[in-house]
Structure 1
């Protein structure tokens, strides 16, 4: 039913007209108009009071019966209220189901606001992280105090999860993953990976022990082969002994890489970070790469920022950098060009190795850092690689909070870059003044 724009005008006009008519009958039309308007106002006040009493209640009961415009108003309010109650019930049901769902999860879920304060968490967060009702509104750094977690959280790069000991149970290992949502809010997910950690530890121990046990027989075999090759031997025997010596050296390199990789996997972070004179480190790697190149006539170009050094574990970084440079030498044809650079900008430090060699099909790039993954089995075997070099690079960079990026196309060369966060960079002046 369609109503006029102001449904109160017609009743008001009718009341005024009746008052004027009645007042005119007794020769006092003005008094009749005034009394009728007063009576009409008192009636509207009564309707208004009834409406306010109903609104002041919980709105569980039906609205009072009324007629005219006030009745229409009450009916519309009642319908809107009913729709609101239905929406509220649906929302409450959804919230209840969400809470039941998260309570059933074994992983901890914590919602953190833009100021790093705890807003909400599920039941598992109490068991895994030790959060209780008293922690509402506190900083997440009051709950997880490990400096590695604080560094990971503040960095804002959450592609890789972080694995640490639980702050509530030192026999439990947790894997943390952070996701952004809303207005720079975050949700922290922590799951128990103790069983996986122990299985991985068993695997690492097995590889380390097996590799260690292989070193002694390989050393003996290599020693005897070297002694035999110093003697005058028939040509077929000489050829066989030489091939055996080459394979023994390759096995020794493989065992050395396995031992190094097992040690790197044992912990996620370095414990003895020290200033590194990266210019001397790169110069030494350049000399070793030139020796490896031998008569292949590779051209080496160095572009080194003279004002900044790096902090970290020198032997590990030397292994990572040399793996990248030696790979460039192995897979770049004769007279090829290899560029080694170290630069620093607002985002941090960047060590890069670029070559114009045979390149890599982009389909292989996501798997290059896997253990023993080979783009071309015959090509890798001929180059003398162990298949562990890039896996070692990946783990060294993870322990230094850095990342590896790879750009390559078949036949167009490759660029391998190590990106270090700005807090791992030190200016030469800082190092000279003893500032770490």
Structure 2
């Protein structure tokens, strides 16, 4: 457009000179044409200068004004700058959203260039890998993550599967790392903390191993005696009766284990029972009767009831939890020892606890007593007939009732196991009558 307008203007100047040539001669005509061309040149140079100055800071607000053919040029440039500014704002907003999303991600994200140098990283990756965004940008990732497995992972360039690293940068994390190429030059390094998942898998493996171990002994005993009975049909009745008694005891042990496993599975899967009014007085009397039956007169058993208020809960679950605490006290208290069952209020909170004068537990074992199959003394636990799941069941039942299991114990003195309920589980007399 500018070229055509300039050409037409030059043609107009030349035509004007030819019109005046008969009157003024060729010299004047030449000067008129030359003056017109000079004027055009000055006009274009002036606009080029203004354009050059504007290009140093090309904003729509500072766009020069022009007339004639340059007005069309500036108008087109104005529209282009406006469109470019809009695109830049959109790209900037998209980049801000990407950065904000990366910053908020629960996994670590590191952007690497084609040379595996760090271009950007989010806070979680800094936590996982010990990176410092203020000084590590531009550093090769292999200089900062120095574990041989990761170095080999980079060299192999096979990123189809993640790798597992432990104790990166002195941390106790178990990390899953995977490189993901996302264009021709860049890669994402994704880090994920799988410490808890690893711990759960370890617990599951230990659980299966413990169950297998607990079932193997009674199955071996029963299988051995059955083999003896089959091989020796003329075995004397006294020996046969003794073996049958032992087999019965071992099958009872397996039955208790299976029942405890089913109970624990139901509790962990959240299959909650219906809340109801639980008469603490009647429950305490039932527990005392159960304790006398288990003790067979070998212990001194006492009951202390400081309140007759009831609680809101599931009777069967609470009977199971309290019963486990009572049976543990009887199993681990030597003959002649004392066992006390108590129901009281403590700071408006209902509390059930069992104290004994048994062997006691060392302090370092107490935090782990509620783990499945955790035993302070495996030999002693098997002798007493425990399954290793009782306190795990108690803990889950307490949690389902928003209660807390509190354990205090001293070696040679005895133990106290208490379940402390929240005050909102307490029912006064009117509420207890209404809840019937």
**Alignment TM-score, normalising by the size of structure 1:** 0.48
**Alignment TM-score, normalising by the size of structure 2:** 0.48
